[in-house]
Structures are given as structure tokens and as C-alpha cells.
Structure 1
Amino acid sequence: MTVTTTAFASFDGAPIAVHEIGEGRPTLMLHGFIATAELNWILPGIADRVAAAGRRVIMPDLRGHGGSAAPTDPATWSPDILPRDQEALIKGLGLSDYDLVGYSLGARTAVRMLVRGATPERVVLGGMGDSGVMAAGMRAAMFEDSIRNGEKAADPKAGKIIQARIRQGGFVPEALLGVLSSFVPTTEDELRKLDRPILAVCGELDQDNGSPERLAELLPRGVAQRVPGTHLSAVAEPALAEAIVAFLEG
């Protein structure tokens, strides 16, 4: 199948790159931090697998990433700006009946969308656990330290890895810091109100964002699943694509 790419003007006019593949039920898929739709969904074959299940796969590059706007002025990064972009995209595409999939930052964004009133039928939260949504600031602080200080960060290994990812992907550090500043934690009470089928799926070795099992316990209709891999490697595992498709098909 062929991936097509268009530019969408978000609520504030910022251009957001949107990649699409397949036909059928709309499925919005949101990638992780310091990644892109291509890196998380297209190259690992997840987009192809979901599209082959009879779905129109819609994959934006989140603001600050890939082909989308990457503002460097901190004042432009308002709280919850990433979910606001997706709300504008859903409205612009005229979607009313759709499913939602996110990985890591994309999963955190998906949760914020739900809290703010988004109404997908089924939701997959990949690479996400309880602390990743309820204590988002802690995760943001680690990334900020690594982006600013590299190997001199509190966790030198993480700093080195993150700096390499930024260089290799051509990301703008100031824009990534803006993404982090826009994080809004989600409370336990808010999670308990998200009454729809939600899958929390992580690699067996992934504890980066807490426990998917504990996250699922907080969700009225949440279920948890583990697939092979770590936080970074799980997207390359065929089992993740299969878990996504199986859950979306219900």
C-alpha cells in the first residue's frame, strides 16, 4: 500500500504533517517522543498491518516532530497543545466514528484527548503505564535534563542515547523542550471516568512509564497485555501490531 502525506492547519494555523494508508474504518495513530509516524508506525510495518485489517490509518507527526511545525518560542507551547492538535485534526477530517492508538507520548496524548472529551470507540495505549499519565512531570524532567545536558545529565546513559536520537532524526531541541512543557498530568479520578474499551500494552521489559497492569486497573474497561521487547524495541515486534489489530477488532 502507498502512504500519502498532506499538511493540515491546526487550530492555531500551525502545519501538521498527516500520513495516511489504507481504506476503511478511521484509526488515528499517534507516535512517541523523539520519533515520527514513519519511525513508530510505517517502518516497523504496524501501519501496513492495521491497514490490511480494513482500516484507514491516519498518522500525524506530532507538533515538534517530523514534518510538523516545531516552534522554538516557549510561549507558543500551551498546556495540552498536542491533544488540541488532534482535536482539530479529527474535526477537520470530519471523524465521528473512529478508533485511537498511541505509543508513549502518543498514548499520553490519547489519554488527555479522552479526558478532554474525545469519543473514539476503542483505544490502545502502547508503551504506557500508570505513572506515565499520572506523573507526567517526572518523565518530562528526565527528558529535559537529557536534552539540555547530554552525558552530563543525572542519567548519563539516557542523556547520551537521547542526544544521539535528536541528532540522527534532525529534531529541534528547543521544540522538544516545548513539547515537554505542555504535559498535563491526569488524575486517578479522571482515569476512572474513561469508560470505554482501552488496552494498555507494553514490552515485557518496559517499565519506562510505570505499570500497564496498574493503569488498566484504574480504567473501567481497561485490559493489559505484554509483548516481547523494551520500550524502544517493542514497536519492531510483530506481536505489538497483532495485539493492536486484535483489540481494535474486538
Structure 2
Amino acid sequence: MLVYHLPGTFETREAHLDLLWQAGATGLEERTGVIRAYFDEETELAADIRDGEWRREADQDWLAEFKANLRPVQAGRVTIVPPWLRAEVLAEQTALVIEPGMAFGTGHHATTRMAVEALSDLDLTAQTVLDVGTGSGVLAIAAALLGAPYALGVDIDPITIPIAQENAELNGVPTGRAVFLEGTLGDDLPGDVVPDGVYDVLVANLYAELHDLLAGEYVSHLRPGGPLVLTGILTSKLPLVLEALDREGFTAVQVREDGEWALVTARAGA
């Protein structure tokens, strides 16, 4: 079995995953600080991912091993599970079923789990939710399952959109309750449900530099007093995010840390 070992960080993760798929990887697996990409044969790789190492390993059913090691993740009132573990969700928990295809978010990363926990702490009844950098759609779907009548997930990567839509269908989210679109906050967001583009809640699982860059957009797309949930932040980059929120007038800023990762919640200024 031919495996390409590529060191990576959260900031480069999605770009590296896309490049590996494009190069012909038959499967991807993430371990601490390393992406393992499975190939049938050595192939020419893009310049951005050439700092890895090709290795020959004993043949194994990597997909079966991956599934065997995947466990339910409890995040507040929600338990995130792959389809084959749905029966393990406790009766009092809300099941959020995510098919872990193409190595997109399964809910096992601390950043995703903390964001779902933060959403679980909110009363989302009658609240519109904007999920920036939606990926697998897990946060928008969680919001819908927790009572939000409308959640919009946007992502610049077109590959994520059909995956997010499939995950919403897998969870029985009614059509139109969780919507996924390719785009950014600088684009005109659809106006049928939220005509002014201003949402009650905004959640974003990105990285610190993007939070800093988008802080002004967060203000323009979040109603005064509305909750902001930011994750994907390395603790070493936390000051950058806190300074951006202070600059844009956010209040009630709170930080939660889990290892090297941080989640920040705040309220939009009046």
C-alpha cells in the first residue's frame, strides 16, 4: 500500500486535502498534524504539497480501520455520529448524522465540537443563523436541528456544497431550512428569508487571520446584540481575534480553550 504522509496545519488543511484529491488519492486520513493520503502509484504533486514523504506500508483496509475507530461525539445537547453509529445516540440527545466522506468535518475536531456546544447553549427558536465556511455543513445543520427555522451555510469551496446538502438530507432537515451556497460574506446573500442579509446568529469555523479580516463583515451581517461564535483559532493567535472584535465594537467576549484550540463568543454592538 502506497501512502503519502503530509505534515499540515489547520490553516492549510482544506487546501491540502483538495490538492491531494485532485492528484488522484483514493482515500485520506487525518492524524495529529499529518494527512495520510492513499495512492495506487506515485504521482506528480502540486508544489504546495511536495514537502511530504512517500511510504510503502503493509496492505490494510484503511476505511474499515477508520470506521472502527470513529466514536460518537457529544457536544452539548447534540451527539455527532456517522450513520452506522446512529443507534448509540442517547434518547435525550439530538443526533447529528454526518457521513465522513472526503475527509471533511466529522465533528471530532475540537473546533467543530466546541462550536456545536456553543450553539447548543443558545435558544435558536425563531433565530436565523449564518454559518461562514460551512464545509460539511455540520454547524448549519446543528443549528437547524436545535430549532433554528433557517440556517444558511456559505463556503468558497464548491466541493463542499453538495456534501453539506447531502448531510442535511441525511438528517431529515426540511428543504429550505438549511441552505448551502458557494460564496463569501462579500457576496450578495439570498434575500427570500433574510432580505437585509442580517442574521440573528453568526458562526464561523475558520482561522484567526480570516476572523481578523472578516470582523467588519461579521458586524454587517449580524443584528445588534446577536451572538457571534468563532472557532478554528489556535491559542497562539487568539490576541489577533480579540483585537479584531474590540476594534469592531463586539461586547461580552468570552474565550474557551481546548488544548491548542480556542473558541470565542461575543455579542454584536448596538
TM-score class normalised by the smaller sequence: 0.3 to 0.5
Q: Which one scores higher on RCO, CA 8 angstroms, separation ≥ 6?
A: 1
TM-score by length of 1: 0.34
Determine which structure has the larger helix proportion and give its number: 1
